[in-house]
Amino acid sequence: MPRALITGITGQDGSYLAEWLLAKGYHVAGMVLPAGVEPLDRIAHLTDRIQLHSGNLLDQQSLIDLVEKCAPDEVYNFAAPSFVPQSWISPVLTGDITGLGVARLLEAIRKINPQIKFYQASSSEMFGATRETPQTELTPFCPRNPYGAAKVYGHHLTVNYRKNHGLFAVSGILFNHESPRRGLEFVTRKISHTAARIALGLTTELPMGNLANERDWGYAGDYVEAMWLMLQQPQADDYVIGTGALHSVRDFVQEAFDYLNLDWEKHIRTDPQFMQQVEGNRLVANPTKARSELGWQPRTDFRQLVRLMVDADLKQLRSQQRTSAL
């Protein structure tokens, strides 16, 4: 039975990957902060099938102890603050966890067992103010926020440990990937959740920022397959993962509201506090390499993704209504 260790297992990607690996017959362990620090709701349905261990990307010794105790064949590193605007509020902490945390984890692997395969969660935010569209594995990085800058450090460090120390270390440069497990602070989940609340008569307005912003949005449940496939290749390499299609925030709003038979223009209120501090350029993936070498492509299109998220929020809100009525 192969063994995997997932840092950030309580997050969106970590929870979907845990499900994927369990279905593949893996023994799955997850790193969490000390008890009570982070919610376990995304993995509540898995807790009887996985093992959770305390660890911290800020603490080198805790990572050494964790890798030694879990003895994994594969390590997937997701543990990092993932809400980009927050990185402007806590840039030093973002760099310490998202950047230096990768160094600490790679060092733990190198010291305990350099045969462990390592996956680093890189991000399209590394491209930032790119002059090339779409972006490939060879597109130069030009991050425009502390989160993207820290991800660039972790990405290059992963490449260096692969080349200098011979580790099987890869980076998945993932473009925006969403799901019902996204936090409510993310614009996609904010849209699906508020649209569902409006449909149920629980609110009337959706405060929004710039509706013209565009992103390459895919389904997180599809993307974890690509992560796993990267570690099954004969040689370690980096891959861009995305749909290759751009959609605006307005597209997402319209699709969600149309699905609920609502006129979105009657419910949108522009709120300056949601305008991004730095507007990114046109970030859209060219996933040709992933398609040709990994045999991977997304199964869920944009419309299916939006409807999947709206349905999940409707179900959750109706359940809450029934519970409160008891």
CATH number at residue 314: 3.90.25.10
In a domain, residue 70? The reply is yes
In a domain, residue 259? The reply is yes
In a domain, residue 293? The reply is no
Nearest to 12 by CA among 135, 183, 169: 183
44 and 106 in a single domain? The answer is yes
User: pLDDT at position 304, please?
Assistant: 98
Domain span at 109: 3-177+218-241
User: How many residues does this entry show for the chain?
Assistant: 326
Task: Report the chain's C-alpha Rg in angstroms.
Answer: 20
157 and 258 in a single domain? The answer is no
22 and 162 in a single domain? The answer is yes
Burial class (CB in 10 A: 0-12, 13-18, 19+), 270: exposed
List, for the chain, all residue ranges whose pLDDT scores fall below the cut of 70: 36, 82-83, 273-281
Q: Which residue(s) pair with 172 in the sheet?
A: 121, 239
In a domain, residue 90? The reply is yes
208 and 224 in a single domain? The answer is no
User: Which pLDDT tens digit goes with each residue over 257-266?
Assistant: 999 999 999 9
User: pLDDT at position 278, please?
Assistant: 42
H helix or E strand, kind and range, residue 7: strand 3-7
Catalytic residue, chosen from 87, 122, 123, 192, is 123
In a domain, residue 197? The reply is yes
16 and 105 in a single domain? The answer is yes
Q: Are 92 and 25 in contact (CB under 8 A)?
A: no
Paired tokens of 293: 């070498």
User: pLDDT at position 279, please?
Assistant: 53
Category of 201 on φ-ψ map: left (φ > 0), alpha (ψ -120 to 50) or beta: left
Catalytic residue, chosen from 26, 119, 147, 259, is 147
74 and 89 in a single domain? The answer is yes
28 and 150 in a single domain? The answer is yes
Distance CA 119, CA 6 (A): 10
Nearest to 249 by CA among 222, 270, 219, 266: 270
User: What is the total count of domains within the chain?
Assistant: 2
150 and 269 in a single domain? The answer is no
User: pLDDT at position 196, please?
Assistant: 98
User: pLDDT at position 277, please?
Assistant: 46
In a domain, residue 296? The reply is no
Q: What is the pTM of this model?
A: 0.93
Q: Is 16 a catalytic residue?
A: no
111 and 62 in a single domain? The answer is yes
251 and 153 in a single domain? The answer is no
Catalytic residue, chosen from 74, 125, 225, 255, is 125
13 and 138 in a single domain? The answer is yes
Q: Is 219 a catalytic residue?
A: no
Cis peptide before 134 (omega within 30 of 0): yes
In a domain, residue 295? The reply is no
Q: Is 107 a catalytic residue?
A: no
Helices of type H across the chain = 12-23, 60-70, 84-89, 91-94, 101-112, 146-165, 187-199, 220-230, 249-259, 288-289, 302-325
User: pLDDT at position 282, please?
Assistant: 86
DSSP state string for 175-219:
--EE-TTS-TTSHHHHHHHHHHHHHTTS-S-EEES-TT-EE--EE
User: pLDDT at position 133, please?
Assistant: 94
In a domain, residue 286? The reply is no
